[in-house]
Amino acid sequence: MAFPHPLDQLSVAESDIARQVILEAHGGSIGLIFRSIALEEPPKDELIKFLELENAGRLTFETPRPTRVAKVSYDIVRDDRSHEYTESFVDVQSATEVSRRIVDEVHQAALTTNEFREFTEACLASRLYQKAIAEFEIPDGFRVQIDPWPYGSDSVVTPRYTQGLCFAQDIRSGNEDSNHYGYPLPLIPVLDTYRKEIVRVDRLATGGKEDGLSHGTHSRNVLDLCAPAEYLPELLSRPLRASIKPLSIIQPEGASFQVNNNLVKWQKWISHWLQSSVLYRLSISEMTVPYGDPRPPFHRKQAFDFGDAGAGLIKYFDAILTEPDGTSSVSKNVVCLHEQDNGIGWKHTNFRTQRAVFDLAGGITLETRATGIVRVVNIDPGKRSPWGNVVSGGALTQNHQHLFCVRIDPAVDGYANTIIVEGSLPIPISKELNPFGNGYEVRQRPIKMSQSFDASPTTNLIVKMMNPSKQNPISGNPVAYKFIPSASQLLLAHPDSIMAKRAQFAQHHVWVTKYKEGELWAGGEFTNQSKKETGGVADAVARADNVENTDVVVLHTPVEIRQIHLRPADFFSTNPAIDVPGENNNASLLAPGSDLCCESGGVQKSPEAHLQGKGQI
Amino acid sequence: MAFPHPLDQLSVAESDIARQVILEAHGGSIGLIFRSIALEEPPKDELIKFLELENAGRLTFETPRPTRVAKVSYDIVRDDRSHEYTESFVDVQSATEVSRRIVDEVHQAALTTNEFREFTEACLASRLYQKAIAEFEIPDGFRVQIDPWPYGSDSVVTPRYTQGLCFAQDIRSGNEDSNHYGYPLPLIPVLDTYRKEIVRVDRLATGGKEDGLSHGTHSRNVLDLCAPAEYLPELLSRPLRASIKPLSIIQPEGASFQVNNNLVKWQKWISHWLQSSVLYRLSISEMTVPYGDPRPPFHRKQAFDFGDAGAGLIKYFDAILTEPDGTSSVSKNVVCLHEQDNGIGWKHTNFRTQRAVFDLAGGITLETRATGIVRVVNIDPGKRSPWGNVVSGGALTQNHQHLFCVRIDPAVDGYANTIIVEGSLPIPISKELNPFGNGYEVRQRPIKMSQSFDASPTTNLIVKMMNPSKQNPISGNPVAYKFIPSASQLLLAHPDSIMAKRAQFAQHHVWVTKYKEGELWAGGEFTNQSKKETGGVADAVARADNVENTDVVVLHTPVEIRQIHLRPADFFSTNPAIDVPGENNNASLLAPGSDLCCESGGVQKSPEAHLQGKGQI
């Protein structure tokens, strides 16, 4: 073993060194609250040198390795209980603090699980909250459950706030997992996060179309309308169906990939979370969830899952979590890697002999899904709302969007790449070129300066990430990887709204920027309570950098459920999957009692590797 | 057993009766060529009566059943060797011909496999072809292979024609499956199909950008440029990879569906090829493949896979194929039904207890894929073409589109349905309605008259198939199923071209028509050599029928690779999958040598049923 790979996450020992360095630098632990301690990846040029030697199999004991640096994020708590959010960079080999930055107080760090934990405690202790909750008739056998949430943002400048969505939970069964989302309560306590004080309890509108933005139309026994919405088998009022027979996916010889810390080898891909001869980095860079209910305080309902809640920090198979005192704990298995059957890879049947060949070919598919439960708010009896749909008694789901941003840092056979926009366009009828009108034109345009643009299904717009210096020997075109950007709906909030200003990235489908060290987040590093996107894609594009034949980055904003297919374009000289064995899959069984079978010749299952996780993929 | 189901395909015995009736009606077998003998489905109103009794479990021996009718398609061969294409309808219970229609000679029946078979024979016997092929230097050990193809269409009125794409095949290995697509030949013999005579040999352009539409630039030894493009394992020049371990999908207790002839029961779906409480019929109605190379004769290169080649006739698990003499043979397993893992159906983790529940919910996904091999044409040494890409030595793939049309005949909790178009639209900032600008509006519009319209991702356009008479008790909205039409590129050919006139259906994303008996084909019944679409969706829309709260049909034209998700909308009162057992899947195994696992709580595989086939799905 000896050295860690430069991209291996920090070990607990390295994390402890970083903590110790910071504690000593501040003269003891008093007044420091640690938020995270994580690997600061080496500068790209240093890392590339290492990776090129690694890919060439030329690593030795003497190979110079990039310095191992920890980024330590923490608060310095001042006497007046205000916090100074600080980022220090620590060389964990020499145990020295290399640099320090006190973040401008206009920015708020992401919420920590610890801050979430403290919310309910502060809430229950608050007289303001107790008085507000006493206005409601909570049935016997129910208790109040509070889901802490990012505060969102409006035009008022506020200190660090957290808000709580309140529900009642039926605990008469004694089951801790009884679904409280069947019983929403129309109030939101607001916490001053640092002072641990509930400063306000917002009241929620519960009316329908006819009530406009007003609230106060509900009754004291607002939960009488509500009904259980249980999903646990033991809490269901009907039996589970018995008609599903097991469908098992078995790999008797184990998986075809190997994992060594974070280094993944699968078939002909070698990737450290996907660093390869195609990509330097592939990641989900941000997701914002704006809600379309204009009734205050719902206008603040907008989550940034990465920037607000720190999902972006979880980017390893096992996540190292940082406690407030700077000590580390390991959270196992936050990301799942598996192979899965992807149906027929390719197939051709020679009609003369009826012989079929099934196989796999080399692309990358990113799929985003929203599979969760909806958080509801109250709606009065018999009313319907333009702002959502009634899904259970007295419970309204509010209209909202899920806008993911995928960040692609290409390395197509080298690091200097050009982004090409390609479209298929009709051409006029002419005797010389298109006498019968069936002809059409494939037009290409290189992106010269950083910019944003939108998907265009009417012209079948394709984004090609091309290496202009490497020619495909067969086609004569430069090697490339390509994808078709999804023409999904962009942010619906008004351009002048705070929601829109905070999520510039959600207002165009594709962004092309020059690579800049540390610029990883589409919506900027600090989204929590932000008034506008800062350091995100819009700022990156505004630099008006040359992006031709250089280290370029592409970002793409789709909504769920979307698949994005990265496909080779003039990249290979032959089908890269041509050497995949194509025997019949012996596990394909006939359905008993019928003579159903799959296609003659059997079905070859074509595997693909999947990375599922929150954060970098 | 007793009675066949009204939707069961004809048995061989029933087919034989129909043949005999037609033979006798024409006074013996002389001069008749049979094309197909297939079930003519009962009129919808008759069938619905039967299905409603069936769904209510009230079928008895006495229940009146729709007459079993065979549609017999055949040619009457006249003395001058011209053909009269005829369709007769035969009651196979009483063995009587009920009606007969001689199809106008402007229409051509779909090509039969028999006509394809006869092509090569007629070609090899032709002096015209022999002379043309002799102009080329075919290397020793190679033989010519001819792929018969639909003739396509241009502005000239022609008799029934078929054309052949010519290639050379390397048979030095003795392997019949050696890939001839590596070696295209620049000529296309044209067959007068009925007279079995090659009437012309078209010469193909082989030039690049600089050569415009002209041909004749190639050399006599045009194959010298070409290289093998083998895909069979035994013909590859390199070994197969050994790194893929088996991934087996096992159903030790068999599948969860039952099949009785064509009746499929899966979970809570009962369908006869998908007739259910949601849909009367779901089918792929047509696919056209127009090529964008304007160099003659490539302007005729446009296939209609269903209308030209009869893929639409294959709509059963086992297909009954009709020989030219009217006898039947069974082609086994042309359609495959299987269950497959669809990943996480839905998932919610209670962050308080870390318990996760995984499950499945009730939608229908249609996926179209193009996974085949490309047919290439020649390109001269060193040239590149605006009309395609060089994929192998001397071999050009021409730009083309694949435009599928899916036909949805909804039956959402009843047969009288209304199509609703729903969009999500921004609204202005106003003090009364949208003070903070986050609000947006969901606007609905019913389709009152038959019409076409296009997908609109910028407004997130959704097509809802709604039953206005049935209200969802929870949401208060009518029950519906919905899908988001794919905003894929439509037909690129010029609107004045023959290609465009033949494929009206490929020029809009969505078509809404009134149900009409027998109107099943988006591009019309007769596409082979057609000059324009006849009896397709454009004609159906032109009737300007009322389509509100009636028997309505929706057609959607996407391109591959697209998934179309049919999803319940206000259809259910509870999650229809809530009763699916959610135990851990014991087959999920850890990767050996790593501590990778899936998410805590294990992964529940959510099955879905898949129908794969050519034709009706």
Q: Is residue B39 part of a domain?
A: yes
Instruction: Supply the range of the domain harboring residue B121.
Output: 113-235
Residue range B551-580, pLDDT digits in tens: 999 999 877 655 666 666 666 666 666 666
| Closest residue to A247, CB basis, from B236, B339, B599 | B339
**Which of A166, A200, A235 is the endpoint of a domain?**
A235
Provide the pLDDT for residue A571.
65
Burial A424-435 (b: 16+ CB within 10 A, else e): bebbebeeeebb
Residue range B216-244, pLDDT digits in tens: 999 999 999 999 988 888 888 888 777 77
Six-digit token string for B511: 């078509």
Q: Please count the residue pairs, one from chain A and one from chain B, whose beta carbons lie less than 8 angstroms apart.
A: 410
| Closest residue to B476, CB basis, from A292, A390, A603 | A390
Contacts A111 to B, Cβ<8 Å: none
Distance from the B345 Cα atom to the nearest Cα atom in chain A, whole angstroms: 7
Please check whether residues A85 and A141 belong to one and the same domain.
no
Of the pLDDT bands very low, low, confident and very high (cuts 50, 70, 90), residue B365 is: low
For residues B360-379, average pLDDT: 68
Mutation for testing the A interface, residue in B440, B509, B557, B590 having most A CBs under 10 Å: B440
Distance from the A42 Cα atom to the nearest Cα atom in chain B, whole angstroms: 26
The candidate with the shortest Cα–Cα distance to A616, out of A174, A137, A272, is A272
Please check whether residues A170 and A91 belong to one and the same domain.
no
Q: Is residue A157 part of a domain?
A: yes
Residue range B47-59, pLDDT digits in tens: 889 888 887 888 8
Distance from C-alpha of B332 to C-alpha of B335, rounded to nearest angstrom? 9
Distance from C-alpha of B25 to C-alpha of B42, rounded to nearest angstrom? 23
Q: Which residue of B has its CA nearest to A430?
A: B294
Distance from C-alpha of B173 to C-alpha of B192, rounded to nearest angstrom? 35
Q: Is residue A590 part of a domain?
A: no
Please check whether residues A52 and A134 belong to one and the same domain.
no
What one-character DSSP code corresponds to residue A307? T
Contacts A391 to B, Cβ<8 Å: 474-475
Provide the pLDDT for residue B240.
78
Q: Does B247 score more than 80 pLDDT?
A: no
Please check whether residues B67 and B136 belong to one and the same domain.
no
Please check whether residues A91 and A23 belong to one and the same domain.
yes
Q: Is residue B259 part of a domain?
A: no
Residue range B111-135, pLDDT digits in tens: 888 888 899 999 999 999 999 999 9
CATH number at residue B63: 3.10.450.40
Distance from C-alpha of B49 to C-alpha of B56, rounded to nearest angstrom? 11
Q: Does A341 score more than 70 pLDDT?
A: no
Q: Which residue of A has its CA nearest to B317?
A: A596
Six-digit token string for B168: 């050379």
Contacts A437 to B, Cβ<8 Å: 299, 493-494, 496-500
Please check whether residues B90 and B131 belong to one and the same domain.
no
Are B436 and A339 in contact (CB < 8 Å)? no
Provide the pLDDT for residue A358.
39
Q: Which helix (H) or strand (E) holds B542?
A: helix B537-542
Q: Does A93 score more than 70 pLDDT?
A: yes
Contacts B291 to A, Cβ<8 Å: 438
Are A346 and B247 in contact (CB < 8 Å)? no
With residues binned 3-state (H G I as helix, E B as strand, rest as coil), the percentages for chain B, rounded to 5, are: 15, 35, 50
Q: Does A317 score more than 60 pLDDT?
A: no
Of the pLDDT bands very low, low, confident and very high (cuts 50, 70, 90), residue A368 is: low
Distance from C-alpha of B359 to C-alpha of B607, rounded to nearest angstrom? 9
Provide the pLDDT for residue B567.
65
Exposed, middle or buried by CB within 10 Å (0-12, 13-18, 19+), for A329? exposed
Contacts A248 to B, Cβ<8 Å: 249-252, 585-587, 605
Question: Mean pLDDT: which of A280-284, A329-333, A609-613, B383-387 is highest?
Answer: B383-387
Provide the pLDDT for residue B608.
44
Provide the pLDDT for residue B617.
26
Q: Does A66 score more than 90 pLDDT?
A: yes
Please check whether residues A261 and A144 belong to one and the same domain.
no
3-class secondary-structure state, position B397: strand
Q: Is residue B205 part of a domain?
A: yes
Q: Is residue B354 part of a domain?
A: no
Please check whether residues B86 and B129 belong to one and the same domain.
no
Are B493 and A426 in contact (CB < 8 Å)? yes
Residue range A504-528, pLDDT digits in tens: 999 999 999 999 998 988 999 888 8
Please check whether residues A76 and A147 belong to one and the same domain.
no
CA quadruple B178, B180, B183, B189: dihedral positive or negative?
positive
Of the pLDDT bands very low, low, confident and very high (cuts 50, 70, 90), residue B259 is: low
Residue B289: beta bridge partners? B303
Contacts B493 to A, Cβ<8 Å: 426, 437-438, 440
Q: What percent of chain A is modeled with pLDDT above 70?
A: 76
CA A26 to chain centre: 35
Mutation for testing the B interface, residue in A115, A225, A247 having most B CBs under 10 Å: A247
Provide the pLDDT for residue A352.
53
Q: Which residue of A has its CA nearest to B336?
A: A598
Residue range B394-411, pLDDT digits in tens: 999 999 888 888 888 888
Are B336 and A429 in contact (CB < 8 Å)? no
Contacts B250 to A, Cβ<8 Å: 247-250, 587, 589
Contacts A497 to B, Cβ<8 Å: 429, 436-438
More confident residue, A268 or B511: B511
Contacts A609 to B, Cβ<8 Å: none
What one-character DSSP code corresponds to residue A114? H
Are A580 and B433 in contact (CB < 8 Å)? no
3-class secondary-structure state, position B424: strand
Please check whether residues B185 and B205 belong to one and the same domain.
yes
| Closest residue to A251, CB basis, from B246, B339, B427 | B246
The answer to whether residues A418 and A468 touch, using CB atoms and an 8 Å cutoff, is: yes
Please check whether residues A379 and A448 belong to one and the same domain.
yes
More confident residue, A223 or B265: A223
| Closest residue to B250, CB basis, from A244, A343, A587 | A587
Owner of token pair 């006798």: B24
Provide the pLDDT for residue B373.
74
Are A497 and B436 in contact (CB < 8 Å)? yes
**Which of B186, B212, B235 is the endpoint of a domain?**
B235
Q: Mind giving me the DSSP string for B68-106?
A: -EEEEEEEEEPTTS-EEEEEEEEETTTTEEEEEEEPPTT
| Closest residue to B581, CB basis, from A244, A259, A477 | A244
Q: Is residue B318 part of a domain?
A: no
Average pLDDT of chain A is: 81
Distance from the B521 Cα atom to the nearest Cα atom in chain A, whole angstroms: 23
Are A587 and B241 in contact (CB < 8 Å)? no
Q: Which residue of B has its CA nearest to A390?
A: B475
CATH number at residue A331: 2.70.98.20
Residue B388: beta bridge partners? B398
Distance from C-alpha of A552 to C-alpha of A501, rounded to nearest angstrom? 25
Q: Is residue A455 part of a domain?
A: yes
Which H, E and C letters describe A124-173, residue by residue?
HCCHHHHHHHCCCCCCCCEEEEEEEEECCCCCCCCCCEEEEEEEEEECCC
Are B293 and A475 in contact (CB < 8 Å)? no
The tally of domains found in chain A comes to 3
Are A386 and B428 in contact (CB < 8 Å)? no
Residue range B325-335, pLDDT digits in tens: 877 776 654 45
Provide the pLDDT for residue B588.
40
Distance from the A80 Cα atom to the nearest Cα atom in chain B, whole angstroms: 33
**Which of B235, B262, B288 is the endpoint of a domain?**
B235
Please check whether residues A270 and A213 belong to one and the same domain.
no
Provide the pLDDT for residue A315.
41
